[in-house]
Amino acid sequence: MPSHHWAKNFTATNDDLEYLSGILLEKETPLKIDILARELVEHRLQQEKDALSKRFANVRMYAPALSYTVGEKVMFPEMNHAMGTVDLVREGRNPKHGHFSVIRVAFDDDLPAREFAAEFSDHRLNEASDEDYSLPGANELTADEIMASSKGEIIRTLEQALRADPELVSVAGLWFPRSLMLDANNGGQLHLAEAVLDIAEGGPMTTDELLEQIGGLGNAPHALQVFSMNYSLSQDNRFDEVGPVDTILWFLRRLEPSEVLTAPQLLQYSPLDYDPALLSEETIQLISEIDDEWSDFGKEDDDLEEAQITINYPHRRSGTLPLNASLRAIFPTARRTPRVFVTLVDALDGEEFFGWVVRQERYVYGLGKLFRKHHLPVGAILTVSRSEEPGKILIEFNAHRPRTEYVPLIAPKDGRLLFEYDRRSIGAEYDDLMVLGTDDLAAIDTFYQETQKSRRSLSHIMHNLVTELSRTSPQGTVHAKTLYSATNVLRRLPPEPIYAALVANSDFEHVGNNYWRLSGR
């Protein structure tokens, strides 16, 4: 069967795994899955070539100029590779062509025996050489062509087979036999690594840096030392692998910020059921614009170079960014680890901050200092992009000379959340439908805790918010985006359940352009 058939329907056999294990043993170096896949494809092609060579070892390609003897096996490429045995050789009888002979061939298939010219120099078939003909069943594709067309499927299937083999170990995409791994804790190296990271305030540090500090793992090849150290560290709960794609970085878990190990309370989202049929096209468009990290309508774009986001209250208070559909394309989100260490760069002056991508909980921690430094309000609009330096993310905003703006201030009172407009100095661009301020964060924190304890329903929260926010509007209306921003002061929710509740509750009336008011007003 031609090679491209097994490539398109690839399966990994025990013989394949044994062959790859042999390569790893021979090289004594951990290898990536794509290298192992390429080695296996080349091995398969060579196996096919060897099998064909063995099968046709004593078979001669027919050429009229050659001489043949009785009993020889002959193949005829021009006859669809028909093969037979010479059972008669006689003199040719044609004075025009001089001396030549005739052979009779009994074919292996159902073809009748035929005669062919031999020792006959004047014939077009003599111009072809053996290299011009391929054996039946010979490889139709090269290893490069097979990998170009079927690499993804081959790697996925091979990786499943390798993971099922207890004799092989994988670390960060590299594979190696378990029996040849070094013991990275035989001389207390992991305790030494912990001490090194402790001195470095937890990290992060590369494996190379750790090995240099602890004196290495003997005289083994460096690649094997790195692989064995990575595996031992990954099996020890004291250490956390926090590197982005293609980079391994280690951090002491006990020195990671508590906000990284456990999501801040304000960011913790308990999914709330809602009926998607209640959401109009206008509402869905607004939801996409808000791009909440827990939204069902976020649009992924892996080619995105930069993204704009608006800070809501939970993220501004927690010093975080939402890992929404847009920012997932900007920040590293390596799937092998739940936490990824990054460097956040203030694009205005180049100051750097430690940041953490907490993938499963969908947020990026480490923005608190930057927010406070520039006095950014809830509703501030940020632009996030990759730096030219790997692992660094640029954070910028449209800064201007601080000017006095009227913004809604939050003030808890008598079990309600009140909103009053007052002047505040703001030096950054913001969304005026989401901007919020306060003079008493402690009071809001207390009100938030009381709201959680009392388990106030979403309808109760929204009735309070629509009532109070509408007082600040001459038309007695509230924009849906403002309501989303205010709701998240008291309960972490994406816009979908909030807007579905507006439609489902007769207490609220839609007046167009995403504005709402209390019914009967």
pLDDT digits (tens, 9 = 90+) for 194-224: 999 999 999 999 999 999 999 999 888 888 8
- Position of tokens 């200092």? 369
Asked if domains 181-256 and 279-400 share a fold, the reply is: no
Average pLDDT over residues 290-298: 88
Say whether domain 279-400 belongs to CATH 2.40.330.10.
yes
CATH topology of domain 404-518: Arc Repressor Mutant, subunit A (1.10.10)
Return the higher-pLDDT residue of 323 and 44: 323
Residue type at 396 in one-letter notation: E
Task: Write the DSSP symbol of residue 444.
Answer: H
CATH topology of domain 181-256: Arc Repressor Mutant, subunit A (1.10.10)
pLDDT digits (tens, 9 = 90+) for 108-135: 888 899 999 888 877 666 665 555 455 6
Highest mean pLDDT among 56-65, 331-340, 462-471: 462-471
- Dump the DSSP string for 487-516: HHHHS---HHHHHHHHHH-TTEEEEETTEE
What's residue 457's pLDDT?
Answer: 87
- pLDDT above 90: percentage of residues in the chain: 42
300 with 328: CB under 8 angstroms?
yes
What's residue 247's pLDDT?
Answer: 85
Average pLDDT over residues 401-420: 86
Structure tokens at 55: 């099968």
CA distance 492 to 503: 20
pLDDT digits (tens, 9 = 90+) for 304-354: 889 999 999 999 999 999 999 899 989 887 667 889 999 999 999 999 999
252 with 198: CB under 8 angstroms?
yes
What's residue 205's pLDDT?
Answer: 96
Contacts 24+ apart (CB under 8 A), 509-514: 511/475, 511/477, 514/282, 514/283, 514/286, 514/479, 514/480, 514/481
Average pLDDT along the chain: 87
- Position of tokens 């001489």? 67
- Prediction pTM value: 0.76
* Domain ranges, ordered by start, for the chain: 3-55+139-174, 59-132, 181-256, 279-400, 404-518
Average pLDDT over residues 133-158: 74
Say whether domain 59-132 belongs to CATH 2.30.30.
yes
